[in-house]
């Protein structure tokens, strides 16, 4: 399931992130790549342990906590602290798959990467190329959204970032371990939740149809969730 979530960050949030990133140190993006991915990755990143990286990651996590679509679609149990990358002209990330397991920094715990997320921080007219190319079960999807928008997709997907041909593409990226690891089940629950929302627009919460749909949703979640 590939989901576009508009406006995760406000224009003010984006401007703040850009200002902080603009005065930060950038390093080779291969520092967070696995052995195989490192051979395909050509970009820059903010150091994971930097003060700027921590502060901006906290901001993104706060916004995600308030975002109903993200929480409905990802059903997050744990979220990896967001990272920040940059593709200048000529940079790209060839086709790869994300590591299945990642250590959560400073915790001693690990996270299973069920859902991948890219949060765009550059406006569309600031760069050419740089599409996120996701090999989905329904074909190849090319993603390029305005600053502040985010895309969610299964971490099991092969994906790449096409070469930037003009300007610079800045983004945040991270992974979530979902309470429901199976993408088909997550998709059904998300669609079910959207149907409940639409039904509640026309029927009161006390209506038997609303109560029945809500009960079935939570019973399916209870059946499939891993905590």
Q: State how far the alpha carbon of 23 is from the alpha carbons of 12, 16, 17, 112, 148, in Å.
A: 17, 11, 10, 32, 20
| Domains of the chain, start order | 3-178 (2.60.120.620), 183-224 (4.10.860)
**pTM: predicted TM-score of the whole model, two decimal places:** 0.94
The predicted-structure confidence for 108-133, as pLDDT tens digits, reads as follows 999 999 999 999 999 999 999 999 99
Q: List the Cα angle 112/148/96 in 5-degree steps.
A: 40
Q: Do the annotations mark residue 169 as ligand-binding?
A: yes
Tell me if 159 is assigned to a ligand binding site. Answer: yes
Model confidence pLDDT, tens digit, residues 171-191: 999 999 999 999 999 999 999
């Amino acid at each position: 399931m590939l989901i576009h979530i508009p406006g995760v960050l406000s224009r003010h949030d984006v401007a703040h992130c850009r200002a902080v990133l603009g005065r930060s140190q950038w390093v080779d993006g291969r520092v967070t790549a696995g052995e195989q991915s490192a051979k395909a990755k050509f970009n820059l990143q903010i150091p994971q342990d930097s003060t700027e990286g921590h502060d901006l990651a906290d901001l993104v996590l706060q916004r995600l906590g308030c975002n109903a679509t993200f929480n409905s679609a990802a059903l997050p149990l744990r979220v990896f602290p967001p990272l920040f990358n940059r593709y200048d002209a000529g940079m790209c990330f060839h086709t790869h798959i994300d590591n299945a397991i990642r250590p959560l920094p400073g915790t001693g715990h690990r996270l299973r990467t069920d859902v991948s997320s890219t949060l765009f921080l550059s406006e569309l007219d600031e760069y050419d190329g740089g599409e996120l190319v996701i090999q989905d079960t329904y074909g190849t999807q090319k993603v390029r959204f305005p600053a502040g928008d985010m895309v969610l997709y299964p971490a099991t997907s092969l994906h790449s970032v096409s070469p930037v041909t003009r300007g610079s593409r800045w983004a945040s990226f991270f992974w979530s371990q979902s309470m429901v690891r199976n993408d088909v089940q997550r998709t059904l629950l998300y669609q079910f939740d959207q149907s409940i929302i639409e039904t509640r627009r026309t029927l009161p919460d006390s209506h038997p149809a609303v109560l029945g749909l809500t009960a079935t949703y939570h019973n399916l979640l209870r059946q499939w969730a891993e905590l």
